[in-house]
Amino acid sequence: MADPPGCCRPCATCLLCLYSCQWITAKKEKRRGLRTTKCDCSWFFFLFCVFLFTLVWLYIAIIILNDFHNFNEFIFKQQKLWLDWSLVLLIATAVLITYSAVLLVLALCLQLCGQPLKLHWLHKILLIITALVVAAAFTGLGIKWAEEWRSARISLQATGPFLHIGIVGGMTLLAWPLASVIYRAHNTGLKVFLLLAYSAAMIALYLAPLGITSPCIMEENQLPPKPALVGHRGAPMLAPENTLMSLRKAVDCDVQVFETDVMVSADGVPFLMHDEKLTRTTNVQTVFPERAALNSTAFNWTDLQQLNAGSWFLERRPFPSVQSLSHGDRVQATRQKIPSLGQVLDAAKESNISIMFDLRPENHSDYQSFVNATLAVILQSGIPLQQVLWLPDGFREQVKQQVPGVQQVYGRKRLQDEKEPLLHVNLPYQDMSSEEIKQYRQDNISVNLYVVNQPWLFSVLWCSGVSSVTTNACQVLKEMKRPIWLLPSSTYLMIWIVVDCVSFLMILWAFLLMKKCSQRRRTAESETDVLLTKINSLMQD
C-alpha cells in the first residue's frame, strides 16, 4: 500500500504503533499484508460512537454543576462523608473523553495516511469499559436525578446556537477522512451510502437553526430588567449557611431577600436550620455525641446555643470560594452560632431586607404549635410585615387571618379555578418554561426560581423575564451587568448563513483536494506496477 503524498513513513509508523500497540515498520514488504477489514471498520464505528457518547456526557456533567451541591449534601446524609464530588465527576469525565478523542484522532490520521486501522485488543477492552461507565452514569442520572434532564433541555436555550456552529465545524472537518475513504473504496454501494448519509446529515445541520429557539435571541431594547437576587440560606459560598454572617454577606451582595429554613426547638424557640439533623452544619457530634442522631427539634434552645455553626464551613469547604476567604472572615466564621428567628428578623429589619422561609418539618405532629410560635415571633419583632414572605402551605389560611400583611408565596403554578389570584410563586427553575415565565410576567405574577448558580442559567432566565432567582452564588450574579450573550435575530440569521456557506465551501474543497491526491496516488501506483513488471521481465530474461 503506497503512502499518499504528504504522509511521511516515520509518522505513519508512529501513528500505527500508538493505535495498534505494536511496532509495525513502514516498509512496504512488512505492510503489504495489512488491510482494514470489515471488523476493523466496525471497531472504528464503535470508537466514533463512544466518543460522541462521552462528549454528550461531558456536556451533561457541565450542566448539572449548577445543582451539584445538592448531590454533595445527599451523599453526606447517606454516608456521613463530605467531598466535592463535582471534582471527581469532572476528572473522570475528562479522562474518558480525552482517551476516546485521542484514539479517534489517531484513527482519522491513519485513514488520511492510508494506513490500516488495526485497533489493539487492549484499546477495545478500554473502549467497552468507557461505554459501560458512561451508560451507568446516564442510567444513574435518570433514576436518581431525573429533573436534570429538564435542566439539559433548558441549557440548549443558552448553548443551542453555539452547539450548532461547533457541530457544523466538526462535521466539516470530518469531510477530509470521509473523502479519503470514498476515493479509496472499491465498493460502489459503500461510496454511495457514505456520500448520501453525510449529505443528509449536513443538510439537517444546515437547517437546524429553524428549530433552535432561545429567549436571548432578541433586540437589546427588549431585554427585561435584571432579576432580583434571593440569597439561598444567605450567601453560603461566603459564609456558613443560615447564620447572621451569611445574612450580612448576602446584604453586601445586594440581595433583596434572605431565603432560609425555620425549625422550632423543644421549648418553643424558632431557629434557623435546613437539615432535620444537626450533624452537617454544627459540632453536635462533639458536644452531644449521644444525642447527635436526634432531630433538630428535639433540642432545647439552651442546648442549641452551645453548638458552633461555623467551624464546619472551614473544615469541609462546601464551595471552592471558601479558600479565598480573608483571615477576618475565617475568624468570624468560627464564631457563628445557630441564630434564632427573632435575631434574624431584627437583622433583616435593620438591613431593610426581606426574609422568605419554610417552616420544617411539615409532617411534625406539633406543626400547628410551630406555626403559632413563628407568628408570635414575627409580630413581636416589629418587622414590617410586607418584608416577610411566607412559604409553608400548612395552616396558610390561619396565617392569612392572624397576620394579613405577610406576603403569601406559593410553591405551585396557578390553577384554572383559582379562588384568589396568586401574586408570588416560588418554583424549581426546571418547572417553568420561558413561555410560562413571560405569561406570568404579563399577568403581574412575581416568579422566583431556585436554585440558580451558573451565569448561563441566570442569563436564560433573565432573557425570559423572571422576577427573581434564589442563588448560592450571589457574589457572582451580582457582577453580571447583562446576559452572557444577546443576539438580535438578524445577526443570528447572518451568522447562520455565513457558517453554512463556509462549511459547504470547505467540504467541497476537501473532496476536490482528496480527489486530486487520489489521482496522484493511482498514477504513482500504476508507474510502480509498470516498473515492477519490467524488473520481473528483465530478471526472467
| 41: Cβ contacts below 8 Å, ≥ 6 apart | 117
Angle subtended at Cα 212 by Cα 146 and Cα 437, rounded to the nearest 5 degrees: 60
Convert the pLDDT of each residue in 429-438 to its tens digit.
Answer: 999 999 999 9
pLDDT on residue 534? 62
Say what the pTM is: 0.89
**Residue 30: is its pLDDT beyond 50?**
no
pLDDT on residue 503? 97
The residue that leads in pLDDT, 518 or 156, is 156
Q: Is 296 within 8 Å of 263 (Cβ atoms)?
A: yes
Compute the residue count for the chain. 541
> Which three cell numbers mark 175?
469531510
Mean pLDDT value across residues 55-80 = 92
**Residue 27: is its pLDDT beyond 60?**
no
pLDDT on residue 524? 59
pLDDT on residue 508? 95
Rg (Cα) of the chain, in Å, rounded? Answer: 31
> Which three cell numbers mark 80?
456521613
List the domains of the chain with CATH numbers: 9-214+489-523 (no CATH), 228-478 (3.20.20.190)
Mean pLDDT value across residues 348-360 = 96
Q: Facing residues of 424 across strands?
A: 446
Selection from 149, 121, 68, 61 nearest residue 97 by Cα: 61
> Which three cell numbers mark 165?
456552529
The residue that leads in pLDDT, 33 or 313, is 313
pLDDT on residue 434? 94
Query: pLDDT tier at 530 (50, 70, 90 boundaries)?
Result: low
Q: Facing residues of 259 across strands?
A: 232, 356
pLDDT on residue 190? 84
The residue that leads in pLDDT, 13 or 27, is 13
**Residue 173: is its pLDDT beyond 60?**
yes
Mean pLDDT value across residues 454-466 = 97
Selection from 369, 357, 377 nearest residue 395 by Cα: 369
pLDDT on residue 515? 84
pLDDT on residue 51? 96
CA dist., res. 424 & res. 432, Å (int): 14
Q: Is 209 within 8 Å of 196 (Cβ atoms)?
A: no
**Residue 498: is its pLDDT beyond 70?**
yes
pLDDT on residue 327? 96
Mean pLDDT value across residues 132-151 = 93
Q: Is 22 within 8 Å of 120 (Cβ atoms)?
A: yes
pLDDT on residue 531? 63
pLDDT on residue 26? 46
Query: Which runs of E-coded beta strand occur in 234-326?
Result: 257-264, 270-272
**Residue 538: is its pLDDT beyond 80?**
no
Convert the pLDDT of each residue in 204-215 to its tens digit.
Answer: 999 999 989 999
**Residue 394: is its pLDDT beyond 60?**
yes
CA dist., res. 282 & res. 154, Å (int): 36
Selection from 1, 46, 8, 41 nearest residue 178 by Cα: 41
How do strand 270-272 and strand 354-359 relate by DSSP bridges? unpaired
The residue that leads in pLDDT, 126 or 26, is 126
Q: Report the Cα–Cα distance between both ends of the chain, in Å, rounded.
A: 28
Convert the pLDDT of each residue in 175-185 to its tens digit.
Answer: 988 988 888 77
Mean pLDDT value across residues 56-73 = 94
**Residue 3: is its pLDDT beyond 50?**
no
How do strand 388-390 and strand 354-359 relate by DSSP bridges? parallel
pLDDT, mean over the chain: 90
Mean pLDDT value across residues 281-288 = 96
pLDDT on residue 433? 94
**Residue 237: is its pLDDT beyond 60?**
yes
| 62: Cβ contacts below 8 Å, ≥ 6 apart | none
Give the distance, in angstroms, between the CA of residue 109 and the centroid of all CA atoms in the same chain: 32
Query: pLDDT tier at 521 (50, 70, 90 boundaries)?
Result: low
pLDDT-above-90 percentage for the chain: 74
> Which three cell numbers mark 531?
516498473
Sign of the dihedral through C-alpha 35, 39, 41, 47: negative
Count of H helices and E strands in the chain? 21, 9
> Which three cell numbers mark 78?
447517606
CA dist., res. 246 & res. 242, Å (int): 6
Q: What letter would DSSP give residue 384?
A: -
**Residue 468: is its pLDDT beyond 90?**
yes
Q: Which of 31-45, 216-230, 282-296 has the lowest mean pLDDT?
A: 31-45
